[in-house]
Structure 1
Amino acid sequence: MFWKDKYEVGVELIDNQHKELFNRVEDFLKVIRSTTLGEKKAQKVNETLEFMKAYVVEHFRDEEEYQLKIGYPDYEKHKQIHDNMVSFVLEVSEEYEKSGYNDALIQKFAGRLLTWLINHVAAEDQKIADYAAKREGI
């Protein structure tokens, strides 16, 4: 599993959402890396794109509300990172709807999704956790 406890930010809702994202991405990667699943790949791509379009918006909203609540100073920068990822998911989804199953597009999506998820949660979201911990220690 890609999830590691060190990714926790200390907010149950956000940590649970992160775990769900990691689980979904891991499951998605297993299916698209399989050489024997044919039609199931397209079904999993559809499912993952639909999930990502809805869930990341919900998750980002919750995470951004938390940042505002604690007065996180890099809120605008963090929101822009979120907005860029939403745009990427929507672009891939739109391209997928036009072209159907396209292995190159799906591999690009999977690679960026995994890299972004790990780097974002392990680096950017940890900055929020660090700020919150310092703020509580004041």
Structure 2
Amino acid sequence: MIWKEKYKIGISTIDEQHEELFNRVADFLQAIRQDGRWEEKVDKVKDTMVFLQEYVVTHFDYEEKYQQTLGYPDCDEHHNIHEAFKADIQSMAQEFADAGYHEEAVQKLAGRLLAWLINHVVATDQKMAQYVTEQGLEKI
């Protein structure tokens, strides 16, 4: 389990979505680190890539709409960060489709996913939560 209570930003829907992302990445990490043939792990990698391509869009859309309703001043910057991550996920999915699911590339993906999630939630999303608190806005 890589999700920690300290990652919560105090906005329940977003916290639930973050926890789901962390849980999926944790399952992915566990699957690729288990003993067994690499070929058997490729299905988990493919499932994770499909999930990420779909779920991050849902999550990012929700988070950005919420920010817009708040009048969050860093909304455009936050959107650009999300767009870069979505492009990165698409690029990795295409790379895997073209070159195959090689263990080294998948390990690299795992590290990037975990680092991005932690850094984004702990730094960028915490700034949004701080803004909500300072402005006395509703946390939905």
- The answer, yes or no, to whether TM exceeds 0.5 is yes
Q: Identity across aligned pairs (percent)?
A: 47
Deviation at 1:37, TM superposition (A): 4.5
1:13-65 Cα offsets, whole Å, 9 max, x none, are 11110000000000100111123143331000000000000000100000001
TM-score by length of 1: 0.94
Task: Say which is worse superposed, 99-108 or 109-118, in terms of deviation.
Answer: 99-108
Deviation at 1:115, TM superposition (A): 0.2
**2:1 matched to 1:22?**
no
Cα distance in 1 between the residues matched to 2:111 and 2:67: 28
Residues matched between the structures, number: 137
1:37-52 equivalences in 2 (<5 Å): 37-52=37-52
Give the alignment's Cα RMSD to 1 decimal: 1.2
Paired residue for 1:12? 12
**2:104 matched to 1:100?**
no
Cα distance in 2 between the residues matched to 1:109 and 1:30: 14
CA contact (8 A) 1:2 1:26 kept: yes
Paired residue for 2:53? 53
Spell out structure 1 runs of 4+ moving beyond 2 A. Answer: 37-40
**2:89 matched to 1:89?**
yes
Cα distance in 2 between the residues matched to 1:41 and 1:81: 30
Cα distance in 1 between the residues matched to 2:25 and 2:37: 17
Give the secondary structure class of the aligned counterpart of 2:136. helix
CA contact (8 A) 1:53 1:86 kept: yes
Name the structure, 1 or 2, with higher relative contact order (CA <8 Å, separation 6+): 2
